[in-house]
Amino acid sequence: MSPSSVLIAVIAFAAMEPVTAAAHRWIMHGVGEVLHRSHHRRSSGRVEANDWYPVMFAALVNVGFYVGFNVDGLASLVEVGLGITAYGAAYGLVHDVYIHRRIRGGSGPRIEPLERLAEAHRIHHLYNAAPYGMLLPIVPAGLRERAERTDRDPLVRTA
């Protein structure tokens, strides 16, 4: 990959945090809540309706790959797709593997930088509100202070 291709992929990766936060806020907690509410409930199952979101997002990225590989002048969509895919992988590892422990065994070492992300996500689950981002979540000060007064952990899965 050329330096400009790497730059495009890195920009796409970085742009995904605000895009993801917006999609989470206005789609998953809006018109698409019918699927997402499964994620905010304790579950004993391995699969939840919310799991359709990464499937749908991956399908869109694959359309971008197809166009980038097959339409003259749109090859940069491949680099964009690589950046989005890398973000999706990071999101999945942080959210599903580290925070929600959806991989068999459900435990593992705690990693301090990821613990800050886990705490932000716990706050999101406590109040069904901000922060909506995952890798750079912005936690409103009022919610952070309110969350410090509770030890309730809505992230614990029963499986």
68-125 per-position pLDDT tens digit:
999 999 999 999 999 999 999 999 999 988 988 887 666 778 899 999 999 999 999 8
Whether 159 has a pLDDT exceeding 50, the answer reads: no
Q: Is residue 86 part of a domain?
A: yes
Q: Is residue 154 part of a domain?
A: no
Q: Is residue 157 part of a domain?
A: no
pLDDT at 76: 97
pLDDT at 10: 98
SS (H, E, C) 76-138: HHHHHHHHHHHHHHHHHHHHHHHHCCCCCCCCCCCCHHHHHHHHHHHHHHHHCCCCCCCCCCC
Q: What total of structural domains would you count in the chain?
A: 1
Q: Is residue 57 part of a domain?
A: yes
pLDDT at 158: 44
pLDDT at 34: 92
Q: Is residue 158 part of a domain?
A: no
Q: Is residue 144 part of a domain?
A: yes
156: confidence class by pLDDT, cuts 50, 70, 90: low
pLDDT at 155: 66
CA nearest neighbour of 90 among 9, 6, 2, 8: 9
Q: Is residue 153 part of a domain?
A: no
Quote the domain boundaries for residue 99: 3-148
pLDDT, tens digit, 9 for 90 and up, residues 116-147 = 999 999 999 888 889 999 999 999 998 888 88
Whether 45 has a pLDDT exceeding 80, the answer reads: no
Give this prediction's pTM.
0.88
Q: Is residue 156 part of a domain?
A: no
Whether 44 has a pLDDT exceeding 80, the answer reads: no
**How far apart are the C-alpha atoms of 116 and 99, rounded to whole Å?**
10
